[in-house]
Structure 1
Amino acid sequence: MDIDLHPVTIREVVEGYTDDGEGGVFGYGGRLNIRPPYQREFVYKQKKRDAVIDTIFKGFPLNVFYWVENEDGTFEILDGQQRTISLSQYANGDFSIDVNGNLRYFPNLTADEQERFLDYELLVYRCKGTDSEKLEWFRTINIAGEELTDQELYNATYYGPWLTHAKSIFSKTGGAAYNLGDKYLVGEPIRQKYLETALKWISERDGLSHHKQYMAAHQHDQNANELWSYFRSIIYWVEDTFTTYRGKLMKGQPWGPLYNTYGANPVDTAALEAEIADLVQDKEVTNNRGIYQYVLSRDPKHLNLRQFDDDQRLEMYERQGGRCANGTKCKDVDNGDGMKTFDITTMDADHIVPWSKGGKTEVSNGQMLCISCNRSKGSL
């Protein structure tokens, strides 16, 4: 990759600045693509954004910028998007910063202050190279102090019409996927979390070992309609199946895998909601977030059912005199003078009546079994 230094003033960069959302962000007289398809959305917090403007006011140098020069004479920002948008938005009057205790927008600056701001020189390296060189450079250079997420790196590798459409749906706060699924997903759309989640779900459906395989297969598709349709099917299924919304319990569940496995099964929604309500109130259940997976899979491991504590274990052990509750059926009974006595550390606390049949974690419903008997209990 060829790299040459070309200092550029802020005045030149912000000339013709436009931010058309999904249509893109441009500057430098329309010749600079500030947000290429492989780039992230704007993620700078106010503190970092303001620090960029403060650095310029003080005349201190900003880190260097990297632009990719295209064959038609236009440019794409390879590194420096966050800083470029910050200074462009300020010059556009989009926000104010504190200057000596006063909040000042760009139009509030004096004429000479505005000139000094616009005449500030940015150190821009123009880079020429192949697409693969450009993307490899994008992966390795410092991205304005913000660490890239794995999904942002995959976006850099598999950019194209499919990604552009997918990001317009999944990568915007207030976008289509956010409005539909925010109640059920965690993470920030702008950091590609919604897109990553949807991709992982559909990749599991298709039996792929990694969601980047799905991105590679669809990189040159003209749209992401399949992914969007699948995502909507999941959310609609969740809403139809679980008619009472319980925020903390439902947000962040593995809805895609659950839909893939159980989505075609008919359910009695009223009975399901009644059972969920009972489970939420059941003191034996220590992991309420596992309730939704349990009512579909019937695997009690998701509930993390309450276990006997040390005091209960000791009380049951003393009650049994250190002997296995399995009596003469215990394989470890002495052949000589009767029942064998076990050390408490070699015994398991067991429910006489299991939780599935209404049993509670109480001493009256507990017994101590030797490990071999407890392991074979299911076959007795």
Structure 2
Amino acid sequence: MKIKLHEIPVRDVVNGYIDSAENGVVGYGGKLNIRPPFQREFIYKEKQRNEVVNTVMKNFPLNVMYWVKSDDGTYEVLDGQQRTISICQYANDDFSIVVDGYARKFGNLTQSEQEQIYSYPLMIYICEGTDKEKLDWFKIINIAGEQLTAQELRNAVYTGEWLTESKKYFSKTQCPAYQIAGDYLSGKAIRQNYLETAIKWIAARDGIEIEDYMSQHQHDTNCNELWLYFQTVINWVKATFPKYRGKLMKGLDWGIYYNKYATNSYDPKQLEQRIVELLDDEDISNQKGIYEYLLDGNEKHLNIRTFSSKMSRTAYERQKGICPKCGKHFEIEEMQADHITPWSKGGKTISDNCQMLCADCNRRKSNI
């Protein structure tokens, strides 16, 4: 891989600057892709943005940036998007900063002040190499800056038409995925959380990892499979659990549930009745687990409240250390608290329903 340091004046970088919001940002006479597919949206706060401009105006050194040169002679910003956009926005008169006590946009500066900014040399490393070499380098330089999410890093590897199409559905503000499923998804679309979730779900369906799915579809001309699958998952959720409960339903792995249980038959009315009952059960520590419990019947999703040490000691003394299943005596440390009447059959986590079993008997009971 070839890496060479260049001094490129601000004048050249801001030339041809166009910010099409989420559809992309370009500069350097149209030859620089400031926000390529793997980059995040602009996330600098006002103070950070203004400090970049102040650094340039005071002619202080700005941290180096990194570009990648493509085979067609164009460039992509590998690291430095936030600083580049900050400078371009100011030169474009998009915001003002305080200079000598007065708020001044670029257009309010004197000609000599403007020329000082235009002439400021940006230190930029430009690299050429294979996709893997570029990605390895990107991971290294990303350590010191604003960290990208795991999905943003994946996007750096699997660029192409499929990714571009997928981001239209999952990575834009008010995107289609947000419109139909924003209430069910955690994170933010522009930070690639929606896209990551959708790919994780469909990859799990196929028994593969996110990276494998993206690799297999990198050169597809559309993302129809992913989008149609995602819609099917959300429609299944809404049909199976028609009453929405935000705190409990948002962020659950609905696609994973769909992959496992969608072929089963459920009665939404009966499920809703059971949800109401379970929400009133004080023994349930994890109410968000109610939905998967109703789909597979496994109590582990609920984190059923355990017996306190006082309850356990009371039961042990009552039994005189004898396991009621095998009739043998054990020290309390060798025994485990258990529901006499199982929770699933209405048994509560109270002293009167507590028994102490030896580890072997409790294990055999659990396996029945």
Kept in 2, the 8 Å contact 1:184–1:253? The answer is yes
What secondary structure is seen at the aligned counterpart in 2 of 1:123? strand
Q: Give the residue type in structure 2 aligned to 1:274.
A: Q
Quote the residue 1:145 is aligned against: 145
User: Looking at CA atoms only, which structure, 1 or 2, has the larger radius of gyration?
Assistant: 1
Residue of structure 2 aligned with 1:354, choices 329, 333, 342: 342
Aligned-partner Cα distance in 2 for 1:323–1:132: 64
How many Å apart are 1:57 and its aligned residue? 2.6
- The one-character-per-residue Cα deviations of 1:173-204 (angstroms, maximum 9, x if unpaired) are 32222333221122232232221111111111
Q: Relative to structure 2, which stretch is displaced further, 351-360 or 174-183? A: 174-183
Tell me the TM-score normalized by structure 2.
0.91
How many Å apart are 1:360 and its aligned residue? 0.8
User: Cα RMSD (Å) of the superposition?
Assistant: 2.4
Q: Give the residue type in structure 2 aligned to 1:164.
A: T
Aligned-partner Cα distance in 2 for 1:95–1:123: 24
How many Å apart are 1:88 and its aligned residue? 1.1
Q: Give the residue type in structure 1 aligned to 2:365.
A: K
Aligned-partner Cα distance in 1 for 2:163–2:120: 35
Distance 1:298 1:101, change over 3 A: farther
Quote the residue 1:245 is aligned against: 244
Aligned-partner Cα distance in 1 for 2:67–2:126: 5
Quote the residue 1:7 is aligned against: 7
Quote the residue 1:336 is aligned against: none
Quote the residue 1:366 is aligned against: 354
Distance 1:306 1:108, change over 3 A: same
Q: Give the residue type in structure 1 aligned to 2:89.
A: Q
Give unmatched runs, 5+ long, in structure 1.
333-339
Answering whether residue 91 of structure 2 is matched by residue 91 of structure 1, we say: yes
Q: Give the residue type in structure 2 aligned to 1:219.
A: Q
How many Å apart are 1:250 and its aligned residue? 1.1
Answering whether residue 315 of structure 2 is matched by residue 316 of structure 1, we say: yes
How many Å apart are 1:219 and its aligned residue? 0.8
What secondary structure is seen at the aligned counterpart in 1 of 2:232? helix
Answering whether residue 303 of structure 2 is matched by residue 307 of structure 1, we say: no
Quote the residue 1:335 is aligned against: none
How many Å apart are 1:220 and its aligned residue? 0.5
Answering whether residue 147 of structure 2 is matched by residue 159 of structure 1, we say: no
Quote the residue 2:276 is aligned against: 277
How many Å apart are 1:33 and its aligned residue? 1.7
Kept in 1, the 8 Å contact 2:161–2:219? The answer is yes
Kept in 2, the 8 Å contact 1:41–1:191? The answer is yes
Distance 1:126 1:369, change over 3 A: closer
How many Å apart are 1:226 and its aligned residue? 1.1
Answering whether residue 27 of structure 2 is matched by residue 46 of structure 1, we say: no
Quote the residue 2:194 is aligned against: 194
Kept in 2, the 8 Å contact 1:22–1:168? The answer is no
Quote the residue 2:331 is aligned against: 343
What secondary structure is seen at the aligned counterpart in 2 of 1:124? strand
Kept in 2, the 8 Å contact 1:331–1:373? The answer is no
Question: Would you identify which runs of 4 or more consecutive aligned residues in structure 1 move more than 6 Å?
Answer: none
What are the within-5 Å matches in structure 2 for residues 27-38 of structure 1? 27-38=27-38
Q: Give the residue type in structure 1 aligned to 2:258.
A: Y
Aligned-partner Cα distance in 2 for 1:186–1:46: 26
Quote the residue 2:258 is aligned against: 259
Kept in 2, the 8 Å contact 1:79–1:143? The answer is no
Q: Relative to structure 2, which stretch is displaced further, 280-289 or 175-184? A: 175-184
Distance 1:109 1:263, change over 3 A: farther
Q: Relative to structure 2, which stretch is displaced further, 97-106 or 233-242? A: 97-106
Q: Give the residue type in structure 1 aligned to 2:349.
A: T
Aligned-partner Cα distance in 1 for 2:281–2:101: 56
Q: Give the residue type in structure 1 aligned to 2:148.
A: L
Aligned-partner Cα distance in 1 for 2:232–2:367: 42
Identity of aligned residues (%): 57
Aligned-partner Cα distance in 2 for 1:374–1:129: 61
Aligned-partner Cα distance in 2 for 1:351–1:230: 42
- The one-character-per-residue Cα deviations of 1:243-287 (angstroms, maximum 9, x if unpaired) are 222222111111111011112333221221121122111101011
Quote the residue 1:75 is aligned against: 75
Kept in 1, the 8 Å contact 2:142–2:148? The answer is no
Kept in 1, the 8 Å contact 2:14–2:28? The answer is yes
What secondary structure is seen at the aligned counterpart in 2 of 1:127? strand
Distance 1:89 1:236, change over 3 A: farther
| Residue correspondences, number | 368
Tell me the TM-score normalized by structure 1.
0.88
How many Å apart are 1:132 and its aligned residue? 4.2
Q: Relative to structure 2, which stretch is displaced further, 364-373 or 247-256? A: 364-373
Kept in 1, the 8 Å contact 2:52–2:86? The answer is yes
Q: Give the residue type in structure 2 aligned to 1:251.
A: K
Aligned-partner Cα distance in 2 for 1:128–1:207: 36
